[in-house]
Amino acid sequence: MNEEFLIEPTGINSSIELRYLLEKFGFYQGRFIGDFPRSWRKDVYQHMSSLPDLEQKRMRSAMEENKACLVPSGQPYQSALTWQENAHQQIEQKKFAGIIAANANQWNYPTTEDMEQDYLKGGHDIRILASSNNYTKITRRLLQLSHEIVLVDPYLKLDRNGCEQVLNNFLTIAQQGKCRSLVIWARHEKACMTTEQSYLRMLKEKYQGKLKEGSQIIVKLVNDHASSQKMHARLMLSTLGGFRFDHGFSEFDEDRYVDVAIIDRKTHNDYCRWYLDPGSPNDFEIVEEHVV
């Protein structure tokens, strides 16, 4: 899940081919294309610059519609080497899961014409050992590329050490990128604090020190008894995509395996309307709301 691949810019020769490739990547597909080199998008445009204007317009439209499938590679590119030689070094260093090349090559990487679906590996769900490092490894790109992350867990206990470790790891990775807001929805009756003041004090003691200037955590403790939708699933959401965690956001004293799954497009849109949209029909009673 969430493997990253490299695609040779000169291997794409039409807008149809580009769209076909791009639609196999992104948050809903569970795999990404590394911007390698950093000028990858520009290099694709340059390679296709001799095509008719209408075809170039279609190509740019496909790129814009699927821009979420591109992620920064963060890797150096040696101009003295060919693209394939550079990319092969990245594979040897285990930085990426695979290469789609422009033509036949000595390493037998597939081309855009002969690539098979199985080569892309991955999947939409995974079973992992419940640890903060594993959680952040899977969700890293969503955390880094989203401006705001929403966590939903009706049973979340932010005062627990196992939860604290996970949340602090999320904050560290998220703030390496664009994210400056973490919004948490949890059920009030599970919060385990006697007063609003004690809950806010706990949040500041455990999490405020992990926040960069300009970042914030918003915690909404709700009553969903009278709601048309009950809180049940444990979710990580942003406008880009989302994950479902079957055991929530915590580590455990014993070794425990948990399932994490990518949320499909339709379900993600439904969750976004409920938890993210300004005109949301969300009818939870917010009993307490804290901002750190």
Q: How far is CA 55 from each of CA 37, 58, 214, 216, rounded to the nearest angstrom? A: 24, 5, 43, 44
The span from the CA of 68 to the CA of 11, in Å, is 20
Q: ∠ CA 60-62-65 to the nearest 5 degrees?
A: 105
Distance of CA 48 to the CA centre of its chain: 30
Q: Please give the radius of gyration of the chain, using alpha carbons only, rounded to the nearest integer.
A: 22
Block residue for tokens 């390496």: 176
Higher model confidence: residue 111 or residue 115?
111
The span from the CA of 139 to the CA of 158, in Å, is 19
Over residues 23-42, the pLDDT tens digits come to 999 999 999 999 999 999 99
Residue 112 has what pLDDT?
84
The span from the CA of 275 to the CA of 281, in Å, is 9
Residue 58 has what pLDDT?
95
Largest CA distance in the chain: 69
Which residues of the chain form CATH 3.30.870?
Answer: 125-291
Over residues 246-265, the pLDDT tens digits come to 999 998 878 899 999 999 99
Q: Flag whether pLDDT at 13 surpasses 70.
A: yes
Phi first, then psi: what are they for 210, rounded to 5°?
-90, -5
Q: How confident is the model at residue 2 (pLDDT cuts 50, 70, 90)?
A: confident
pTM of the model as a whole:
0.89
Amino acid at 206: K
Q: How confident is the model at residue 189 (pLDDT cuts 50, 70, 90)?
A: confident
Which residues of the chain form CATH 3.40.50?
Answer: 3-120
Return the structure tokens found at 90: 């990245």
Please, what is the average pLDDT of the chain? 92
Options 2.60.40, 3.40.50, 1.10.3470, 3.30.1360; CATH of 3-120:
3.40.50
Q: Flag whether pLDDT at 281 surpasses 70.
A: yes
Residue 123 has what pLDDT?
73
Residue 272 has what pLDDT?
96
Q: Please tell me what DSSP assigns to residue 3.
A: E
Cβ neighbour number for residue 10 with a 10 Å cutoff? 15
* Mean pLDDT along residues 46-56: 93
Q: ∠ CA 72-60-13 to the nearest 5 degrees?
A: 90
Yes or no: say if 31 and 25 are a contact pair by the CB < 8 Å rule: yes
Return the structure tokens found at 171: 């904050």
CATH 3.30.870 fits 125-291, yes or no: yes
Q: How confident is the model at residue 85 (pLDDT cuts 50, 70, 90)?
A: very high
Query: Which three-class secondary structure string do you get for 68-108?
Result: HHEEECCCCCCCCCCHHHHHHHHHHCCCCCEEEECCCCCCC
* Nearest to 112, CA basis, from 13, 37, 1: 13
Residue 193 has what pLDDT?
66
* Contact partners, residue 119, CB within 8 Å, separation at least 6: 98, 110
Q: Flag whether pLDDT at 116 surpasses 80.
A: no
Q: Flag whether pLDDT at 191 surpasses 90.
A: no
What are the residues facing 5 on neighbouring strands?
A: 33, 98
Residue 228 has what pLDDT?
85
* Mean pLDDT along residues 158-182: 94
